[in-house]
Amino acid sequence: MNINFCRAVDSYVGPFFCRILLLLKRFGGFINPGQGTDLSKTSKKIILIKFWGMGTILLASPSVRGIKKKYPSAKITLLTLSENKELCSILNSFDKRLYLDISNPVKFILGYLQVLYSIRREHYDTVIDLEFITNFSAMTTLLITVFSETRQIIGFNSPVRWRNSVYFHNVSFDHSRHISMIFAK
């Protein structure tokens, strides 16, 4: 798919779907009472979402190693685009990698549904959204966590108010710091 098409869909369609999912989450009673709790001893399955930017995936690696050190028994999965497959295959910080193919709309939609189904079956207790701009990652986070027992949802603070409602913990995005330091928060 054309990158400009992806951006347009993300800008115009993404917020609409995210708001619907947020309404379901908020008014449908789909928030588990255990959500937002400390995971210091209970984090078993963590999924990180980082679609765009091969370089930022590399820059997030020290943070992923830090998560591994803090939660040694946790299984860490990365959800990213197939364009990042070559780089991600050499990063040993991840126990599992899931890829989305955006080369054409049919492959993307079918692959996305298949990946979401696979993620839902895994019952991740922590979702970390490493994207700081895209609506697609927020929508994916919501689709993973609505109707689930996810206890921890972490993402970057955004100037867009609805996006901050997606996460239980919003991490400030300090533009004066290097991205690797921001990921380390």
Q: What is the CATH number of the domain that holds 61?
A: 3.40.50.2000
Residues 128-164: pLDDT tens digits? 999 887 888 888 888 888 767 777 888 888 777 777 7
What's the pLDDT band for 33 if we cut at 50, 70, 90? Answer: very low
Domain tally, the chain: 1
pLDDT in tens, 45-90: 999 999 888 888 888 888 888 888 888 889 999 999 998 888 888 8
CB atoms within 10 A of CB 63: 19
Domain span at residue 75 reads: 3-184
- The rounded distance, in Å, linking the Cα atoms of 14 and 35 is 24
What is the distance between the alpha carbons of residues 51 and 24, in angstroms, rounded to a whole number? 25
Q: How far apart are CA 11 and CA 133, in angstroms?
A: 10
Quote the distance between the C-alpha of residue 86 and its chain's center: 20
The reported pTM is 0.83
